[in-house]
Structure formats: structure tokens, C-alpha cells
Structure 1
Amino acid sequence: MSNFFSNILLRNFFKYLYKISHPKSFNHNRRYWPYFDVERNRLGYLDKVFYKKKLISDNTKWCKPINDTCVIIATGPSINEIDHNFFIKQGYDYFGLNGAISLADTNFKYYVIIDHDFIENRFNLVTQILKNKECIFFTTPRCLELILRTCTHKEIQCTLKIIETITEKKLERFMGEKIILTQPLSNCDLIENSNIGFSTEIFNAVYDYYTVAYVALQIAYALNYKRILIAGLDMSNFTQPRFYETIENKQPTRLEQDFKAISHAFNASATFFKKNKIQVINLSTNSSIQAFEKSSFQHFI
């Protein structure tokens, strides 16, 4: 217990020291310093992340998948209506979002979490991802810092890829300056005829538009998938628990409040995917997201 409090005091001291020694635009890094260091390439893209001088994430090692179809598994209640055999098919690469790890026997090739509240509140699920040696886990600096408060880097068996997110035109560079975007970053282009960004270089930054599913779409594009199936993208039953939750342990959500912005982003991304000849299919037939073609999972099982 004394060690716990001493760590808190030390962290608070470092935060204060960082705050008084750096400009205000760097304040978001106070929770990271002095534990983290980063390396960037000549374009400013995030290449490597070090924790206590040890390499913990290497974004330069990047293998494109063999399969041309991926399945992004969101966490809407409609997941419970899908035959479990769909989630264990050969020939598909599975992306898990947040609590999707609760699906037994699904071999997740990729995982994406950008919500630090999820890391804090459902760390029992996060632990399952961290122990998966076959999984590539995309997450943010804030989430990474929370993970490393709870476990050592030696306990992390998955491959970490750290991404920086753009929220409401704000980009807090990891160990760098906060940027207010007045124009798109290089390779983070605005989708034609919209004011919506879509990153074609995910280690420069990704747009979030309040939902991890939008981030996953940018990662799937970067991985060069030609067909993207999305399960559990309901956005129509916000009062119901997610497929892995109960009424008792349901976590709060802002999806209903942010639905208009989320829907606008998905609509714009649908235009982007059509232009690039990538098929995106929403397997939640009752989804309130109308951007993508809808189809039953039965057509793909």
C-alpha cells in the first residue's frame, strides 16, 4: 500500500514538474513524462514508442494481410443474433472493438481500443487482448499509459501499434505539441464534397468522430482490404446493454448524443470507399447507420 501511494506522489510530482517546464500546448503529455519517448520519421509519422527506455511499439514493421476480407466486430446487441460459426470462419480476418473479445473462440487478428474509460472499467477484458500473442493491438497513448499502470510491459504478449487520434480538429501529439487543425494533415485528407477527414496514413493520425468503428475503417483501408464486413454496428438501441454486458454492468455511452456527427462521418466514408472500389457491408440489418449496403450474415457464412 505504501508503494502504491509513493507511486502516486511521484507521478504527481512529475506532472507538476512537466507542467511548469513546458508550454501549455504540451500539457497533455504530463501523464507520460518521463516514462515515455517516441521516434518519428522525417514526415512526422509516429514510428516507435519507448517505455522506460525499452521499445514497446514499432510502427515501422508492417505486414499486409493475405486475405482480402475483414470483419470488424463492434459491440451492438445484434451480435447475439449472429450464428457463432460466422465468427470463426477461415479466410476472414477479424477486428475486435472494445468488448468484442468476449466472443469465445474468435481468432482476432487485429484489435482497436481508443476509449480510455473502457481500459479503466473493463480491464479484465483488456487483459485477454494483451495475452494474445497472435493479435495486433491498435490503441492510443492515453490507453497505453493506463495499461502500463496496471501491468508490466513484459506481461504484454500482443503486438502494440500506437495511433494518435484527431477529435474535433484537435490532435495531441504523443510527447509533442497539441495541434488545432485548420487544414487536413498530409495523407489525412478531407473526403470529397464533405468536411469529413479520413486518414490514408494511420501513423500520421486517424480521425475518430466519436466512435472506434470509424478508426477501425481507416485501419482496414491502410491494410488494403477489398471487402469490409461490419457486425454489431447498430446505433439504434442505445438503452440496451452491449452484447457482452448486462443491465447491471452496462457502461454509459455518448453515441446517442453524437449520432448526427457519427452518421455524417460514415456517410462520407461510404463515398470514399466506393471511389476506391472497396465494398463495405453492414451486417446489422436494423442499424440506424444507412451509409453502407446492408446484408444478413447468412450470405457470408
Structure 2
Amino acid sequence: MSTFFKQIYRYTRPRSYRHNENLWPFCRITHALTGDITQLRYKGQLVPLVPLTDWHHRFSGDALITATGLSINEMDFAGLPAMTVVGVNGAYALKDRLDFQLYIIVDMSFIDRRTDVLRAIIADPTLTLFTTLHGIARIIDRFTLPAVRCRLALIEDACYRIYQPRVPGNGVGRHFGQDPHIRFNPDYPDIAFTTDIRNGIFDAGTVVFWALQILLYLGFTRLYIAGLDMTNFHQPRFYESDYDKLPSFLAEKFTSVIVPAFTLAREVLQQNGVEVKNLSLNSALCGEIFEKVSFDDTFQD
């Protein structure tokens, strides 16, 4: 039946709407005047959502973002002082060492292929999971809505908003250029960073870039990033083995997308009074982007 609806959708809408074909007609959404989706019905079920407007500057102080580079294995999190801990993708493998409060998953291949990790994440009632509508639909289809005990915060890719036309990658600067909440890299005008996630978040090939936009909006003023190695992309992530490793596409995007995106992020975060510390001393990102600091020197007495 879903294939039938997909064909109807394709034949009745322009190609720029193709990214919505798996959602129609199963999703009914309501937008607030601020741009964010505040109500969602999926296959007739009302899905509870965290209102993004209510979370604007809800937090303050420090947060730790746990990425998934191998340097995670060198860190003794027992010495971490009290702060909000933010996980991405498979970082939940650290659950016995870290108390996650916020979580971000925007990689649909992770949702499709790491159901073991995802099952544990959505069963955690202490978590707020930021993910896209495609992610929510996949979670409900695979696990059912009653199995979702975490809170859900619905975020959108600014260039692929629900039931709106796609913004092409080479048209980002033109399309969003007048939005006062969006900043651009002057050397790469189609790489953008938003200070208001209610109208979508910009992608740069890595979920950490999404996390920086989200955490700025939430109000944190100092961010530590663990596992942001950006090296040895052919090796498994810290929670993977050679047998269950998911592919990585970061290597081909590193110079042309990731470096200019994080350079832009540094500038916007600094302008908004946010410090960022990279706890991966051997990260391929240079220290001019985010200052590199030792985990032990920073947190151990």
C-alpha cells in the first residue's frame, strides 16, 4: 500500500517534493507561527512532541557532546564534573559511564541498522531525543509508539522541510540569505549555520554540526566535544567492530564541507558567547577551529 501512495505522490507533485514521498499520506503536521512543527499525527496516532519554543535558552552552563571517534576509549569519564551530557548515534554504549540527558540522531542508516542501540535509547524515559520526522516514522514503524518512552523533539533539515520543496545545495545562500538567524561562510556561501532551529537545521555531513546548532539554541555557554577525531575513517567507531561497522562518508567531505562548516560554527558560537573545547588532541580539525584540550588536564584534579 505504501508503494501505491508513493506513486500517487510522485505523479501529483514536483520533483522538489520527492523527499516527502514516504511520509504522505501517513503524516499530519501543524506548524506554529514560529515555524516549528508542534503537532504530529502519524498513521492516526498523536505523537507527543517537545515544543521547541519552550526549550529556547532553557539550559545554561556546560554540556558534553559525545561523538564516536576512537579517542573516547582513552577518556575516564568518572572524573567528569556535573554537566548536561549529549549523545549522538552509538554513543549510548557509554550509558554505564555517562548519564545522558539529550540525544541527537539524524542518520537514517543508523536508525535502520543499529536497532539494538536505538531500542535502548527510546526506552530511556530520562532522555530527550532530537530527530527528524523520517526518524520518528521509522522508530514507530519498527518499535510501535507505546515502546517510545523518551521525549521526542522534532527537528528538520532546513533544506528538506516536511511538505515543502527541497532547497538545492547550490541555492542555500540565495534561498536563506535574508534570514537574520542564519549565518554563512563567506568563502562557501552555501554552508550555513542557524541560531534558531525552529525553522530547520543545516547539515554538513556530521551530526555534531547539528548538535552545535541545537545546543546554541538551548542556551549552553560552554561545550566540550569528546570523540571528534575526524581521522581513520576506515576504522570502526568506538562502539563498533569490524563486523558491524557502518560506512562513513566523512573523508570525502572533510576538506570541502566539514572544515568550512566548523569554521563557521566557531565564529557564530563565539559571537554568541559560547566556548567550544575539543577533547580529541589528535583530531584532524585544527586547534584554530576549536581549541584542543586534554580530558585529564581539564577535568582531573
Q: Give the TM-score normalised by structure 2.
A: 0.89
Q: Which residue of 2 aligns with 1:102?
A: 93
Distance 1:12 1:150 in 2: 18
With 54-63 and 124-133 compared, the bigger mean Cα shift is at 54-63
1:232 corresponds to which of 202, 227, 233: 227
Q: Which residue of 1 aligns with 2:252?
A: 257
> What SS does the aligned partner of 2:197 have?
coil
Distance 1:236 1:285 in 2: 12
Cα contact 1:98–1:113 (8 A) shared by 2: yes
Cα contact 1:187–1:200 (8 A) shared by 2: no
Q: Which residue of 2 aligns with 1:7?
A: none
Q: Which residue of 2 aligns with 1:5?
A: none
RMSD between superposed Cα atoms in Å? 1.9
Give 1:71's aligned amino acid.
L
Q: What does the per-residue CA deviation read over 1:150-175, in whole Å, with 9 as the maximum and x for residues that have no partner?
A: 01111101111111114xxxx12213
State the shift of 1:188 in Å.
Answer: 4.3
Q: Which residue of 1 aligns with 2:164?
A: 176
Q: Please say if 1:29 is aligned against 2:20.
A: yes
Q: Which residue of 1 aligns with 2:65?
A: 72
Give 2:299's aligned amino acid.
F
State the shift of 1:297 in Å.
Answer: 1.0
Q: Please say if 1:245 is aligned against 2:233.
A: no
Q: What does the per-residue CA deviation read over 1:15-54, in whole Å, with 9 as the maximum and x for residues that have no partner?
A: 1222233333322222112221111122433333221241
Distance 2:145 2:241 in 1: 31
Distance 1:66 1:141 in 2: 24
Distance 1:24 1:66, change over 3 A: closer
Query: Between the two proteins, what is the percent identity of the paired residues?
Result: 33
Distance 1:221 1:60, change over 3 A: closer
Q: Give the TM-score normalised by structure 1.
A: 0.89
Distance 1:192 1:210, change over 3 A: closer
- Residue correspondence of structure 1 range 128-277 to structure 2 within 5 A: 128-166=120-158, 171-180=159-168, 181=172, 182-184=174-176, 186-191=179-184, 193-194=186-187, 195=189, 196-260=191-255, 261-277=257-273
Give unpaired runs (5+ residues) of structure 2.
none
Q: Please say if 1:289 is aligned against 2:285.
A: yes
Cα contact 1:110–1:135 (8 A) shared by 2: yes
Give 1:300's aligned amino acid.
F
Q: What does the per-residue CA deviation read over 1:128-183, in whole Å, with 9 as the maximum and x for residues that have no partner?
A: 110111111011122222212201111101111111114xxxx1221333234323
Give unpaired runs (5+ residues) of structure 1.
1-9
> What SS does the aligned partner of 2:199 have?
coil
State the shift of 1:67 in Å.
Answer: 4.8
Q: Which residue of 2 aligns with 1:119?
A: 111
With 221-230 and 190-199 compared, the bigger mean Cα shift is at 190-199
> What SS does the aligned partner of 1:62 have?
helix
Q: Which residue of 1 aligns with 2:78?
A: 85
> What SS does the aligned partner of 1:134 have?
coil
Give 1:264's aligned amino acid.
P
Q: Which residue of 2 aligns with 1:4?
A: none
Query: What is the number of equivalent residue pairs in this alignment?
Result: 286
Distance 1:65 1:85 in 2: 26
